[in-house]
Amino acid sequence: MKQQRFRSVWDAIERTPAQAANMKARSEMMLAIRESVEGWQVTQAAAARRLGLTQPRMNDLIRGRINKFSLDALINLAARAGLLIRVEVVRTAA
């Protein structure tokens, strides 16, 4: 049986490279936002107000419920959290 190796878990579980790229970007964005929020040392309710979210939605973010957030929504939240957002697009090796 041949073993496959993947660069990320998203490459292994998503159907297409485009879907894997979207999930990679969303997961990195969620982690950055969560780390930022944790640095504020405030309650989830206070962090939710600061980000313009409801407390249950904040809980979804903190718990990493990635399927509940689009990339657009996460970019908006990252900006509200004071994070610098940069997108890098590179060609793959052919």
The structure's pTM equals 0.84
Ordered structural domains, the chain, with CATH: 27-87 (1.10.260.40)
Regions of the chain with pLDDT less than 70? 11, 94
User: DSSP of 25-88, one letter per residue?
Assistant: HHHHHHHHHHHHHHHH---HHHHHHHHT--HHHHHHHHTT-GGG--HHHHHHHHHHTT------
What is the predicted pLDDT for the residue at 94? Answer: 66
What is the predicted pLDDT for the residue at 81? Answer: 96
